[in-house]
Amino acid sequence: MKKRTKTILAILVGLIALSGVAVGIYGNTCYRAVDVDSFMASSQSIELKQIEEGYWIDGPGEEKALIFYPGGKVEETAYVPLLRSLAAQGIDCFLLKMPLKLAIFGANRADAIRARYSYQEYYLAGHSLGGVMAANHAAEHLEEYAGLFLLAAYPSKDLSAAKFPVVFLYGENDKVLNRAALEESFSLVPKEYKAVEISGGNHAYFGSYGEQKGDGKATILPQEQWNITTKEIYKYCK
């Protein structure tokens, strides 16, 4: 009995050790936010607060808010520069933190934001895998949102009955986005959808996390891609 107990304990210890190694390897493969420190500080017009669900970028607006789903295996703060620009224009932003940095494990986290905060209108947005999950969440909550913005992303569930605008934004040089799947997904959204290809943009420059494996080379700066993106989003939120 004692020998068997020792064997079981040894196996358990080994499994725990392997789990720790696996988590460490996974952590090292995630894309870390870069050059965002200056965007993380609050200012006179924008207050950045860390909340249970992630981050609340609270600007001068009081009536409208956008909930953002980060890309897969990307540190969520990489999207603060993009969202801070939108908050400055009066659209408060909630940046969700996902389990294991994968929105597939937190597809309905937007529910917690709507339950805790009071805004007249809520919008959804997401990048890459985060965009897919934001779209799928929207498909199950068609009455809860006023707009959906998909950055290098597309839905996998039917959104054709949506009464809100659906806007696709993607970079001209994006080599990560599946263009065939993107075009097929246009049949899942209202006919009035808008697709915006950002000249010179790529997949990674919606955030600030450096270059992404397999992506194309951008011929514009990340700041330019953020500006174009926020300008397009604001058109449907103002």
Closest listed residue to residue 198, CA positions, set 219, 183, 213:
219
d(CA 50, CA 150): 24
Task: Indicate whether 31 pLDDT > 50.
Answer: yes
Q: How is the chain split into domains, by residue range?
A: 1-30, 32-235
> 73-87: per-residue pLDDT in tens?
999 999 999 999 999
CB-neighbour burial class of residue 86 (10 A; exposed 0-12, middle 13-18, buried 19+): buried
Tokens of 111: 């529910």
What predicted TM-score, i.e. pTM, was given to this entire model?
0.88
**Tokens 């919008």 -> residue:** 123
The CA-atom distances, in angstroms, between 6 and each of 2, 18, 19, 81, 97 are: 6, 18, 20, 53, 40
CATH class of 32-235: alpha beta
pLDDT in tens, 92-102: 999 999 999 99
Q: For 107-152, how does the pLDDT look when each residue is reduced to its tens digit (9 = 90+)?
A: 999 999 999 999 999 999 999 999 999 999 999 999 999 999 999 9
